[in-house]
Amino acid sequence: MPLVVSKRLTITGFLTSDRNLGPKYWVEHQKNVQQWIKEGSLTVKTNVTDGIDNAAEGLVGMLKGDNFGKAVLTIAEL
């Protein structure tokens, strides 16, 4: 940060709700990602914790970064 201040650099982040980023490309993004998932070229990874008795362990693991992908708690099969 001292270099940023001393060189008067501008740091710009991005938010998906920014009108020039998120909404502008939302329809295209949805169409492409859904197609990639169907084709199998984009794989979705989930980390499943089974049972309410293991919920605390799954939560702590998620907070520690032990999981990869989407964290899911399965309580019962439908």
Q: Could you give the CA distance from residue 2 to residue 5 in angstroms, rounded to a whole number?
A: 5
- Residue 41 DSSP symbol: S
Q: What percent of the chain has pLDDT over 90?
A: 50
Domain shared by 53 and 36, yes or no: no
Same domain, 2 and 39: yes
Within this chain, do residues 55 and 28 fall inside the same structural domain, yes or no? no
CA 61 to chain centre: 16
Statement to judge: residues 36 and 4 lie in one domain: yes
Residue 34 and residue 54 in one domain:
no
Higher pLDDT, 78 or 50: 50
Percent composition of the chain: helix, strand, coil (DSSP 3-state, to 5): 45, 15, 40
Quick one: 1 and 38 in the same domain?
yes
Q: Residue 73: which residues within 8 A CB-CB, separation 6 or more?
A: 48, 49, 52, 55, 58
Please indicate, yes or no, whether the overall pTM of this predicted structure exceeds 0.75: no
Across residues 4-8, what is the average pLDDT?
A: 93
Tell me the residue range of the domain where 27 lies.
1-43
